[in-house]
Amino acid sequence: MTAADADYDVVVLGAGPVGLALAAALGREGLGVALLERSALTAYDDPRRGDDWDTRVYALSPGSAEFLRGLGAWQRLPPERLAAVEMMDVHGDGGGAIAFSAYDLGERALAWIVEHRELCATLIEAVRTCAAVRVLAPCEPKAISWHTDRALITLADGGSLSARLVVGADGVHSWVRREAGIAREPRGYGQTAVVANFVAETAHRGRAFQWFVDGQGVLAWLPLPGRRISMVWSAADAVAQELLALDATALALRVAAGGARALGALELITRPAAFPLSFLKLDSVVGPRLALVGDAAHVVHPLAGQGVNLGLGDAAALSAVLKAGSPVGDVGASILLERYARKRALPVLAMQVVTDGLVRLFAMPPLRLARNHGMNLVASIAPLRRLLAQPALR
């Protein structure tokens, strides 16, 4: 499809889960939306591959599931590819432990584990069935020029399109962010997340596990359907390279030992992958005719599994603000964008403080006794434990 001289209310750049969800939400409000993605979306047309499980998974909160249900996307997810997290056991590096239960919190699940390709496939379907959304993929943007009443996006094929609002949903190294003159780059943790899937000897029964392994980073096991689990090991780059160099048998033994063999022996079923970890905090996530969402706006450490939930929270908040502000007649009006920024400031800051603080806390050997004692103290006070869990749920 060509987009020469086309005009839209909103142009969303980036067709990851957050960009897709936002485009669907805005389209359902009757706004004219163009969704631009550099690569083709055909890879997600038939995501289910029998017993081949995506190594990249998300722990979607009940709040995120609610938002996706409102878009008609959650209902399209195949139930046999979903797993509910009903319990979460967190272990410190010196005897500290805390457990969270969906039952205690009055929830069906603490989170739902969803594969990346399944989530993208169902959101693409939601976007394609929305007449107000035009998908341009593959599409290579070349430059953005910013004007008082609109932004003009020039494409590599010579075409162009304009919009009252440009939304950057194009990830941690956002091209949109650079085009807007926001020079802030993510700060690396010097850590890498190694991800892989395993079959466990014993059933996980909907229980997720997390260990702060002394000197080895943070190891998490997330339940998948059946006796499968998804492993995320966030470790110093050198440790991550050690893990990646192991053969399948040795890696399974190492991961099982790191989790104190809580589920017995493990068998590797997917090739491990790795992602560098970073932190990003911007002074502002909006500008003239600009809003940033998801990893383009903020990046957190994955130890709380909240990155995609923060992004979906951005999408829900921005779509709600634009819907409520429709009498203004201009979706790119600064009053609406500032309202969106204020609405997201506290939830994002709170999650950044908690995740970054925990990374730093567990990197300080002298504080080992204090941090593990603190975990046990929180675990013993039910109201405090519930209070701690609430932001992650909603």
Is omega for the bond preceding 138 within 30 degrees of 0, making it cis? yes
183-192, 317-326, 337-346: which is most confident? 337-346
**Residue 3: predicted pLDDT:** 45
327 band by pLDDT with thresholds 50, 70 and 90: low
- Given this model, what pLDDT does residue 312 score? 98
Q: How far apart are CA 205 and CA 88, in angstroms?
A: 11
What percentage of residues in the chain have a pLDDT greater than 90? 79
Question: Pick from 335, 337, 334: which is nearest to 317 by CA?
Answer: 337
Q: How confident is the model at residue 328 (pLDDT cuts 50, 70, 90)?
A: low
What confidence category does residue 47 fall into, taking pLDDT thresholds of 50, 70 and 90?
A: low
Residue 381: predicted pLDDT: 83
Give CA–CA dist 332/340, Å, rounded: 11
pLDDT in tens, 167-185: 999 999 999 999 999 988 8
| The pLDDT value given to residue 1 | 40
* Interhelix angle 116-128/17-28, nearest 10 degrees: 20
What is the structure's pLDDT at 366?
A: 82
Question: Picking from 32-41, 50-59, 367-376, which range would have the lowest pLDDT averaged per residue?
Answer: 367-376
Tokens of 234: 């966030």
Tell me the average pLDDT across 363-392: 80
Question: For residue 162, what are the β-bridge partners?
Answer: 7, 152
Residue 388 pLDDT exceeds 80:
no
Task: Look at residue 363 in the predicted model and tell me its pLDDT.
Answer: 82
6-59+118-186+279-359 has which CATH code?
3.50.50.60
In order of 205, 282, 299, 337, 392, the CA distances from 183 in angstroms are 46, 10, 15, 20, 30
**How confident is the model over 67-114, as pLDDT tens digits?**
999 999 999 999 999 999 999 999 988 888 999 999 988 999 999 999
Instruction: Tell me the pLDDT tens digit for each residue of 196-234.
Output: 999 999 999 999 999 999 889 999 999 999 999 999 999
Residue 4: pLDDT band (50, 70, 90) is very low
| Confidence bin at 125 (pLDDT 50/70/90) | very high
Instruction: Give pLDDT, residue 383.
Output: 80
| Domain boundaries defined on the chain | 6-59+118-186+279-359, 64-113+190-277+364-393
Which amino acid is residue 271, in one-letter code?
A: R
Q: Does domain 64-113+190-277+364-393 have CATH number 1.10.3720.10?
A: no
pTM recorded for the entire structure? 0.93
Residue 282 has pLDDT above 50, yes or no: yes
pLDDT-based confidence at 344, cuts 50/70/90? Answer: very high
pLDDT band at 2 (very low <50, low <70, confident <90, very high): very low
- Residue type for position 106: G
Share of the chain above pLDDT 70, in %: 96
Question: Helix/strand/coil (H, E, C) string of the chain?
Answer: CCCCCEEEEEEEECCCHHHHHHHHHHHHCCCCEEEECCCCCHHHCCCCCCCCCCCCEEEECHHHHHHHHHCCCHHHCCHHHCEEECEEEEECCCCCEEEEECCCCCCCCCEEEEEHHHHHHHHHHHHHCCCCEEEECCCCEEEEEECCCCEEEEECCCCEEEEEEEEECCCCCCHHHHHCCCCCCCEEEEEEEEEEEEEECCCCCCEEEEEEECCCEEEEEEECCCCEEEEEEEEEHHHHHHHHHCCHHHHHHHHHHHCCCCCCCEEECCCCEEEEEEEEECCCCEECCEEECHHHCEECCHHHCCHHHHHHHHHHHHHHHHHHCHHHCCCCCHHHHHHHHHHHHHHHHHHHHHHHHHHHHCCCHHHHHHHHHHHHHHHHCHHHHHHHHHHHHC
pLDDT digits (tens, 9 = 90+) for 142-164: 999 999 999 999 999 999 999 99
Place of tokens 């990374």: 359
Are the C-beta atoms of 223 and 59 separated by less than 8 Å?
no
Task: Please say if the pLDDT value at position 56 is more than 70.
Answer: yes
